[in-house]
Amino acid sequence: MIIETLGTLLGWIMRGCFAVTKNYGVSIIVFTFLTKIILFPLSVVTQKNSIKMVQLMPEENALRIKYVDDKDKLADERLALYKKYKYNPMLSSVPLLLQIPLVLGLVYVIYRPLSYVLGIDGGVIEQLRQWLETSLKTSFEDSVFQTEIINQIQNGLLSPPDFLSPDNLSKIQGLNMHFLGIDLAFTPTFKENYIHLIIPALSGISAWLLCYVQNKINVLQVTAGNFNKIATTVFMIAFSTYFAFLVPSGVGLYWIFGNLFAIPPMFLLNIIIPPKKYVDLDYLNKINQQRIEKEKVHKKYKAREKEDYKKFFEVQNMELMVYSEQSGFYKYFKDMLEYVCEHSEIQIHYVTSDPNDVVFTLNNPKLHPYYVASDQYLVPLFMKLDCKMCLLTVPDLEKYHLKRSRLNKNIEYVFVSHGMGSTALTLRKGALNWYDTVFCPGPDTFSEIRDAEELYNTPKKRLVETGYPLIDEMLREYELSEHTPNKIPKILIAPSWQPDNIIDLCAEKILDSLKNTDYEIILRPHPQQVRHEPEKFEVFKDKYKDCKNIEIQTDFSSNNPIMESDILITDWSDISWEYAFVTKRPVIFINTPMKVMNPEWEKIKTTPINISLRNQLGKALEVEQVGEISEIISDMLARREEFSTQINNVFHEHVYNIGKSKKLCGKYIIKSIQSKI
């Protein structure tokens, strides 16, 4: 009933198109064009909705990470985010959903040309049906009898009935349902009338052209990955081609021109509502380019990865496996692995996801590096792992793609801390639940883990009071090098990389407060922020180009000035621990919004070290107080010795086994592996 009503409405439009064009094929094309005009206001709404979707993507991705363990909270926060941007996730599907009744209605019209193209009375059509079925002594379905009546009369197969008026007879005889040699009432098939195969072919080609343009200018498709673009294009081509084999050629013609007529409105929409006005498309393109480059790197090293994966599983009786996400993470394992090599015969099998990891340059016969990066190989490598111990810096073991071995249930998984920060605040809830052992840098980490185990009633892990090898190495290097006091006090501003950091909230105010002082000021942003927002730092450079005491440092090939600075200004960066504990110099902490990975961190009894030590290692300031920063720096410089003593006391209170962590980590690894033999 619904299709019949819709067919009647579309039939009136088709009849009007036919009355003007006098050509059945052209009338379908005109009809298609009119539907695009009628639906254009909806396209405007959809364009606005798509822009909102792209705008909220970063925040939605952050919510997925933040509430990975709380699906209900994620749903609530996502709904609140959609309301904030006034985004309707269903709206983008409306144009596609409207195509379904339009196509069904058009099929209904094309199967009934007597009713909806020629406008012959329904009573006469029913008489013609009875005449046809009586004459041929067979019955016909509703979808074919009208085209069969036209076929019989036009080709003289049956004599026209007496009740048919001359006017109606003239209409039937004059109706040409062919367009460029194609019978628009005929459904394409490989069995006969092969010329009709051009309809499915053109349907597929028009779908490809539409997808090609969409991938270039549509705000949603621009942000999609290459795989999604290719998958969407292949699906649309396949669907459009297959669909044209299921319906009359007239519907196929509608589909072809529907695809073609959808292209100009996309350009028009980008003029009326330019996405660049609301979304940083250059940044999105840059992200996509980075993704493409990553895919190229993976392709380049694919053969090597496959070979290393195979070589890894050729090892018999493996004892120690280490996994590193990238080259920069070797520093967290370096000291303990060197100790293991010096004091045992244990062979270390070091898997890294960086093809240029520094481990490939080391000449250590006991250290065997492997490059494995893609999930295709990395996931099964972990699932089939068979060794005595596995060292990782990766939290959330078992939650995502990296799983505990399904082959060997007795592997000891050891979490190696790669920072002094709070595990309750900076790691997700339950991030360490699937580890057997944790190397603890200090008592704060120890207490937080025990508090969480008690709170959530999870099994107790083996917590080893090792200390922090990276701090020990930095301390050794610092003490062995010469340090000339700065004639002009050097102030380093080194923000973290997170939303609403110092750069976003108060960097200009800090620089304005210090530009007329006698201090040397270096703003050294996080490399990732420079990478993603280079234009922001060009603005900084331009604004302070005449300030001789201010340097905006975005070239990270130069020496890192951190350990030679007299005072560090940061927000929540873990670099503060390394700086303060190694140099014994104070830090000014700006209280920008915290980066919280665990929304339940306040349930942990131990106060996060990120919060508790801010006023012990220096001074914490609210963003609104940065105007006072010059006076605070002056006071700190005057009290250097006092701060040095205070920071040294905090260091010994909050870090285990200073100077001994390499030995303690290495000894534990050797002893634990030997006990499993």
* Domain locations in the chain as residue ranges: 2-190, 195-267, 301-468+661-675, 481-654
User: What SS3 class is residue 589?
Assistant: strand
pLDDT at 629 over 60: yes
Kindly state the average pLDDT of the residues 399-406: 89
The pLDDT, as a whole number, for residue 458 is 95
Kindly state the average pLDDT of the residues 439-443: 97
- Asked whether the beta carbons of 248 and 184 are under 8 A apart, the reply is yes
pLDDT at 22 over 90: no
User: What residues contact residue 345 under an 8 Å CB cut-off, 6+ apart?
Assistant: 366
- Asked whether the beta carbons of 113 and 175 are under 8 A apart, the reply is yes
Kindly state the average pLDDT of the residues 593-598: 89
Kindly state the average pLDDT of the residues 59-80: 69
- Here the tokens at position 32 are 């298609």
pLDDT at 138 over 90: no
Q: What pLDDT, in 10s, does the model give residues 494-538? A: 999 888 899 999 999 999 999 999 999 999 998 878 877 777 888
- Asked whether the beta carbons of 510 and 629 are under 8 A apart, the reply is yes
pLDDT at 245 over 70: yes
More confident residue, 568 or 293: 568
Q: Mean pLDDT, the chain, as a whole number?
A: 88
- Here the tokens at position 570 are 């940061």
User: What SS3 class is residue 590?
Assistant: strand
Task: Label residue 232 by pLDDT band (50, 70, 90).
Answer: confident
CA–CA gap between residue 625 and residue 56 (Å, rounded): 31
Task: Label residue 60 by pLDDT band (50, 70, 90).
Answer: confident
Q: What is the CATH number of domain 481-654?
A: 3.40.50.2000
The pLDDT, as a whole number, for residue 276 is 75
DSSP label at residue 181: T
- Asked whether the beta carbons of 626 and 591 are under 8 A apart, the reply is no
Kindly state the average pLDDT of the residues 569-596: 93
More confident residue, 22 or 341: 341
Residue type, 361: T
Evaluated on CA atoms 260, 264, 267, 269, the torsion sign reads negative
pLDDT at 481 over 80: yes
More confident residue, 612 or 499: 612
pLDDT at 95 over 90: no
Q: Tell me the residue length of the chain.
A: 677
Q: What is the CATH number of domain 301-468+661-675?
A: 3.40.50
CA–CA gap between residue 421 and residue 241 (Å, rounded): 57
Phi, psi of 256 (to 5 degrees): -60, -50
pTM: 0.67
More confident residue, 462 or 219: 462
CA–CA gap between residue 360 and residue 352 (Å, rounded): 10
Kindly state the average pLDDT of the residues 558-573: 85
Q: What pLDDT, in 10s, does the model give residues 186-217? A: 889 988 888 999 999 999 999 999 999 988 88
With residue 390 as reference, give the H or E element that holds it: strand 389-392
More confident residue, 584 or 419: 584
CA–CA gap between residue 52 and residue 69 (Å, rounded): 26
Q: Is 640 exposed, middle or buried (0-12, 13-18, 19+ CB in 10 A)?
A: middle
User: What residues contact residue 536 under an 8 Å CB cut-off, 6+ apart?
Assistant: 503, 529
Q: What pLDDT, in 10s, does the model give residues 653-673? A: 999 999 999 999 999 999 999
